[in-house]
Every structure is written in C-alpha cells, then in structure tokens.
Amino acid sequence: MHLLDLSDGQLEAWLAERDQPAFRARQIRRWLFASRATDFADMTDLPAGLRDQLAADFRLWTTGVAAHHVDPDGTEKLLFELADGQQIESVLLRDGTRRTICISTQVGCAMGCVFCATGLDGVVRNLTRGEIVEQMLRLARLLPPGEGHAPAERLSHIVVMGMGEPLANLDALLPALGEAESKDGLGISPRRITISTVGLPAAIDRLSDLGTKYNLAVSLHAADDELRERLVPVGKKIALADILAAADRYFDVSGRRLTFEYVLLAEVNDREEDARRLARLLAGRGALLNLIPYNAVAGLPYQTPSEARTRKFIAILERQGVNVQTRRRKGAKIDAACGQLRRIKGEVPSTVVPLSG
C-alpha cells in the first residue's frame, strides 16, 4: 500500500494495532514533509522495528522519475512512471521568489479540448490521493535545501492545472490538498492554491457546499456555446450560463475572486467580435480574465495570435471594464507550458482537424 494514501486516522490506527503511540504518526509526517526522507531507513527517531514494519507494509514512493527536463527559464518538468506503468507530467515553475508547482490529477484527460496535448490520448484513470501528494513532494525536492546562511527554498503556490480535469477527481484531490495546506504538511495557504477546471457545475457546487477556500480558475475559451462546443467537446452537455452560475455561487460562498481562463487561438477565437462577446459575458463580475496565447503542440493545426492582434483583443476587453492579465509563458522549450503536458509522446491522431474562425 502507498503510505501517502493513508489519512492521519488510518496511519494512527495502523500504529495502534502494533502497540505504537499515536505521536509516531506526527514523526512520520515530519520525515515526509519537512525532512525530505526518501526511505523508511532515513526516519532515525523511529524504533528500528517500526521502520522494518513500515517497509514491510508500505511503499514510500510508488512513482519513478522517467525523465527530468530543465528549461533555460528555470522551469523543471518531471515525467513520472506510475506503479501500473502509466505516465504523467508535473512542473515546477520559478518566478522571482515564487516557487509554484503545477500538478496532475488524472492519467490523460476526458474533456477533449481540441488545442490541448493532454486530452489527445483520452483518459485512463484518476490518480490516487497518494500519487497526487507524491508529485508535490518530489517537485519540492527539486528545491535546494539551504546551506550555510542560505535559507531552504520552499514551495509557495500550487496550481492544479496539469493533466486531467481536477473536478472529476475531487475524492482524491481534496484530501491531497488537505495535506498541502496542513501545518504539519506543506503549510501552503489555501489562498495560494488554485484549481483549474473546464467547468463542471455540479462539482463546483460541491466545492461550495464543502466551504473550500481555494482559488477557482474556470476555462472558457469561447464567449458563446456554439464555438465552445467546437473547442471544448464537453460543452455540448454544459451551457456557459450554467458554468457561470455555479462559479458565481462559489464566489458568494468562498469570497475568493474568480479567474476565467481563455486560450487565444489565431483566427479561431481571437476576433474583435469574440472580445466584445467575452466582455458582455463577464460584465458585472469582479473577476480576473487570464488570457493565454496558444502554446504550440506538435501536429496540431492551431497558431498563436500575433502580438498586435493580442493587444487589440486586450484593449477591447479593458475598454469594457474587464480586468485582464496575460499569462507569462514558462517552460515552452521543454513542452511544460499550459496545454503541452502529455502522457504519450508520438503522433497526433489523424482525427484532429483545424477549426476556422
């Protein structure tokens, strides 16, 4: 069993069955999250017999790092091989003093966004709680521990924007994020954790009902249902109006400002009329619009808009009072930018066809 799949209560119960005090669970967690242990043998303040029992019953790591890529901009990407042979990718981003990790929640993705590499091969399965937490810990171990007077670098932000649709795997994601924000876990404030979703109203409402305080980023990519259905096939079943209504309810409950994401595709959704429709769609919402110029995926027929066209799109939105931010491209040289993560490297399926405006 994967040790990171256990809740605190389950670990304490396992310890109790072996006549070990509950405080041993805190010691184990400290080794996992603070001391960067990589083996049960490293946990030197545990009795030798307990370390042997842990090693007999659990695996500390269930993934292997199949590849490690480093971009000149400081971005690092890990290709993980899971215990069943499946693969996922996760990213560490450096920006000033910020150290952000982008984590995955599924092997592949079922949402089918036509411009995204992740969904080209479909979805295989959800990740477990432990597999999600293990990504966090392995990415954290890429940061220098600190030497002499230099302080150790720490993770500051988490974005759940990697492979998969996070809201389709809430049963594993929410406990994993609980470990991330726990004081004896990674200690990251929920205000610095963002969940990105294509927009599943029932799951957004579940977040509202649970009272979570994470930031929510909702991917639009179009300002009308007709175009969105072509870009995001799941949109055939979910209207934009229903997505926005669920997002508004989350804002009312959480108080966290909403972010809407929009990938700009040249000659597809970057026209002046698209900008005006988008401004009308977001009118009256104190939300942030995160514009993402398309990051090229080998074999896909889409193009990044010119800077001039992007500036014109932004200007129209800003004149209508929309708060716009353009996402900085990080990790593009190692295929680690938004929309470039993929579990299978190879040819793009022949069924992919270009979309005209």
Catalytic residue positions, numbered: 89, 338
Question: E strands along 131-211, which residues?
Answer: 157-160, 193-197
Phi and psi (nearest 5°) for 59? -105, 130
Q: Which of 58, 45, 160 is nearest to 100 (CA)?
A: 160
Beta strands 64-70 and 76-81: pairing type?
A: antiparallel
Question: What is the rounded distance in angstroms from the CA atom of residue 176 to the CA atom of residue 136?
Answer: 9
Residue owning tokens 């029932």: 202
List the structure tokens of 65.
């790092």
Contact 28, 60 (CB under 8 A): no
CA distances from 125 to 87, 195, 237, 269, 351 (A): 11, 19, 21, 31, 22
Question: What is the rounded distance in angstroms from the CA atom of residue 251 to the CA atom of residue 211?
Answer: 11
Q: Which of 267, 275, 308, 302 is nearest to 291 (CA)?
A: 275
